[in-house]
Amino acid sequence: MKTKIITCFCALAVAFIMLSAFQKDNKKEPWSHKELMPPSELAEKLNKNDLTNIVIFNIGPSGKIKNSLFIGAAQDEVNMLALKKKLEKLPKNKEVIIYCGCCPFEHCPNIRPAFQLAKDMGFNNVKLLNMPKNLKVDWIDKGYPMQQ
């Protein structure tokens, strides 16, 4: 009987450790699925020159999408301060679109802090441009508009 209890306890402990490790690897992103903007949607807005209520921030080191404001890599504190200053000047209902494109989302050091900053500042229409691979594959190779 004692052996069964010890075996059950050990099995529960192992299961708990595995679950904890799984949860750490699968941490929740600061954006929801509905807050991911398909590149085709932004490209369509840019092609139609429909920019009345949007602002696009480039928060990475990669190329400049047409009509975007270059901030620089959001992993750097000075660039996060620059982004904060730009956001402070905007109405909270403005559609804020953030992109980096330096690398796949899971490795990107820039998108999470920039996205979270906009949310923490009370912006209710923040979007992350959905470029899970990088700017070249998910934007440039599709012929979407870049800054001239």
Residues of the domain holding 135: 32-142
Mean pLDDT value across residues 75-95: 97
User: Higher pLDDT residue, 67 or 2?
Assistant: 67
If one counts the domains in the chain, the total is 1
71 in any annotated domain = yes
| 50 pLDDT more than 60 | yes
14 in any annotated domain = no
Tell me the pLDDT of the chain averaged across its residues. 87
Contact between 17 and 108 under an 8 Å Cβ cutoff? The reply is no
Per-residue confidence band for 148, with pLDDT thresholds at 50, 70 and 90:
confident
Provide the CATH number for the domain around residue 70. Answer: 3.40.250.10
131 in any annotated domain = yes
64 in any annotated domain = yes
User: Looking at residue 3, what is its pLDDT?
Assistant: 63
pTM over cut 0.85: no
130 in any annotated domain = yes
99 in any annotated domain = yes
Q: Tell me the pLDDT tens digit for each residue of 119-133.
A: 999 999 999 999 999
136 in any annotated domain = yes
37 in any annotated domain = yes
